[in-house]
Structure 1
Amino acid sequence: MKNLLLAFLIVFAFSSRLAAQEIDTIPIPTKDLDIKLKRSPLPSRIGTLQFQPVKLNPALVNAKINYWKTKTSVGININQASFSDNWKGGGVNSLAIGGLINYKAEYSKESYSYVSEVILQYGKVKNKNQLQKKTNDRIYWDNKAAIQLSKNWYFFGSINFESQFDKGFSYPKDAAGNERENLLSKFMSPGYLTESIGFEYKPNKFFSTRIGTGTARQTFVLDTDLYKTNPNNFGVKQGKKFRNELAFQIVSSFEKEIFQNITLKTRYNMFIPYDNFGHIDHRLDINLVAKVNRFMNVSLTGVGLYDRDTDLKIQGSQTLALGLMFTFPR
């Protein structure tokens, strides 16, 4: 019995000692072990996947290229002043109205281009106790077709027409101091038709110069009695209705926004008849427009003209106006 008790004590002490010691982790090599893993629940494929192309029918867009670009400007300005009968500052009651229509169409495709521009201007002023007088009166239509020869040079052909809407008068006073009308011009008296071919230099979008080596101009005076009040008769012989001239012509144009909302547009025309190189005609048009807001603007227009067929001195006109301007498309 004592031996059995002694053996139990020895076994208990040895077990307690093993429990008090740390258990070490021993790595087991699995290289040669036949370990079976659980099958993945995800489906799997074995072999080459076959893809079938999907045919898509392309959607056809019925779109056309528009080679035309158009712009229309319509302007109107009104000036009015009135004074009471006892106004000591002086002055005269007046009413002035003017209108402008400017249409421009441009066609450009590859090396070919075409430009058509129409300018219509008319204005009148009425002062108290005076006759009505014109402030503006012009009809101008210019057409030009061109083909590009190099980066900056074009060969062009052009035709333009110019005249006026209404009769034009001078206003001398009679012996009593009253104004009387002296007829100077009217529609197609004069009228100008100019055809030209030559070369155009256009280095950028805002400047161009036409050199018309072959230019013909017809001057029309359909009123054969106009010479009675206008002896020069615009260079047309008395009793004749038109005059034809062959000439060398230079036309330079500049149009650019020089400052924010301020656009400068100029056009210079020099006409040299082949039968008289000393008789050179010059015309300079300057138009400065300052945009006040979306519809209102201030415009300053000036014209300088030297033509011996109308007068031996330089002629000039100037107009300053505040008005409304509508442009399409915006």
Structure 2
Amino acid sequence: MFTFFNLNLQIMRIKTLFTFILLSSIFINYKSLAQESDSLKPHYDSINWRVKMNTGFLFNQASFNSRWTGGGVNSLGLGTFFYYKANYKKDRRTWDTNIELQYGFTDTEGIGFRKANDRLFIDTKYGYSFNDKWSVYGALNILTQFAKGFEFSEDPNTGEETAVLISKFMAPGYITTSFGIEYDPTDYFFVRLSPFAPRWTIVTDDELYLTAGTNYGVPIGETVRTEWVSAQLMAEFNKEVFENVNLQWRYTAYWNMEQPLNETDQRLDITIAANVNDWLSTSLGANLLYDKDQIDGLQIAQAFNLGVSYKFQNYRKKDK
């Protein structure tokens, strides 16, 4: 039966496809212009400020008519991302800033709208190096999400689906400062070790625990939890391991010294991205998180994406 939902979904698909084609054309033109000017950019080692940006749109869609015997559900998915890095280096002083923004959703027939990806991460660090590999640093990072998050389940009495609010912007939100030493042997790998890393966990909605079942470690009735006696370890790898194939992973461990060592918060983010051509890219990513203040168990998220992207940097690549 052709329903009003089907009509809206078809219209949305047409609009989305048109938008996708339009954005693809714009990105192709931008990419061509950027390539033409690459030879005019300064060399990596000749400037103090090095800026690199990658942004784009992700798209996936599936549709089936009533005669399709293989089964399937009509669905539409859209997403966007913005990655930005700025690195300053002069003499022994460095300043590095990393911004990662992601948001995506799916609309599936019979299920409806679902958030698929949501992340806001900002990290900035000032360092002073002793030599080519070791430095002391102070850093600040912020981690949260843009939109509300829901847990969906079926009401056992009515059979209807219910949506329960479990998170939102800055609920939870994490603000972490860290001071320590950094081992940075190459431009694609580093390790930070901080014996002093105060963290503030923020839950701006003091009634969120009523639906979420947790207040993310913040005492009930309060909106902020401060952890002063804490240590942090962070390691990151980001390199083109094959031609047009980039591997990036980031591991973070955070230990509140007032708690047992086996309750250390741990997070691992892994992404493999490949450029099909100058503007079309695909990526496979996974996130593993253990945080007992959220849930007693390992959280895993995985996503495969195909989309158009635009990359920019203000320097020529380093010589191989």
Q: TM-score by structure 1 length?
A: 0.79
For residues 203 and 66 of structure 1, the distance between their equivalents in structure 2, rounded to whole angstroms, comes to 20
C-alpha offsets along residues 106-165 of structure 1, whole Å, 9 cap, x if unaligned? 100011100011100000001012131111000000000000012311000000111100
For residues 245 and 303 of structure 2, the distance between their equivalents in structure 1, rounded to whole angstroms, comes to 17
Residue identity matched to 1:212:
S
The question of 1:124 aligning with 2:85 is answered no
C-alpha offsets along residues 285-315 of structure 1, whole Å, 9 cap, x if unaligned? 0010011100011101110000000010100
Residue identity matched to 1:259:
F
The equivalent residue for 1:275 is: 258
2:216 partner SS: helix
- 1:79-118 equivalences in 2 (<5 Å): 79-118=60-99
1:179: Cα distance to partner?
Answer: 1.7
| CA RMSD after TM alignment | 1.2
1:166 partner SS: coil
Quick one: which of 103, 121, 135 aligns to 1:140? 121
The question of 1:189 aligning with 2:171 is answered yes
1:66: Cα distance to partner?
Answer: 4.4
Residue identity matched to 1:252:
A
Quick one: which of 224, 237, 242 aligns to 2:224? 242
1:277: Cα distance to partner?
Answer: 3.5
- 1:254-273 equivalences in 2 (<5 Å): 254-273=237-256
Quick one: which of 303, 306, 309 aligns to 1:319? 303
The question of 1:163 aligning with 2:147 is answered no
Where does structure 1 lack aligned partners over 5 or more consecutive residues?
Answer: 1-64
For residues 55 and 209 of structure 2, the distance between their equivalents in structure 1, rounded to whole angstroms, comes to 36
1:251: Cα distance to partner?
Answer: 0.1
Moved over 6 A (4+): none
For residues 131 and 291 of structure 1, the distance between their equivalents in structure 2, rounded to whole angstroms, comes to 31
Q: Which structure is richer in relative contact order (CA contacts within 8 A, separation 6 or more)?
A: 2
Identity of aligned residues (%): 38
Does the aligned pair in 1 maintain the 2:80–2:104 contact within 8 Å?
yes
Does the aligned pair in 2 maintain the 1:131–1:179 contact within 8 Å?
no
The question of 1:288 aligning with 2:272 is answered yes
1:86: Cα distance to partner?
Answer: 2.8
1:323 partner SS: strand
Residue identity matched to 1:168:
G
Residue identity matched to 2:183:
Y
1:132 partner SS: strand
The equivalent residue for 1:48 is: none
C-alpha offsets along residues 36-70 of structure 1, whole Å, 9 cap, x if unaligned? xxxxxxxxxxxxxxxxxxxxxxxxxxxxx742111
The question of 1:203 aligning with 2:205 is answered no
Q: Which has the higher helix share?
A: 2
C-alpha offsets along residues 203-260 of structure 1, whole Å, 9 cap, x if unaligned? 1111100001110000000101101011221111111001011311000000111111
For residues 161 and 49 of structure 2, the distance between their equivalents in structure 1, rounded to whole angstroms, comes to 50
Q: TM-score by structure 2 length?
A: 0.81
2:132 partner SS: coil
For residues 177 and 260 of structure 1, the distance between their equivalents in structure 2, rounded to whole angstroms, comes to 51
Does the aligned pair in 1 maintain the 2:140–2:177 contact within 8 Å?
yes
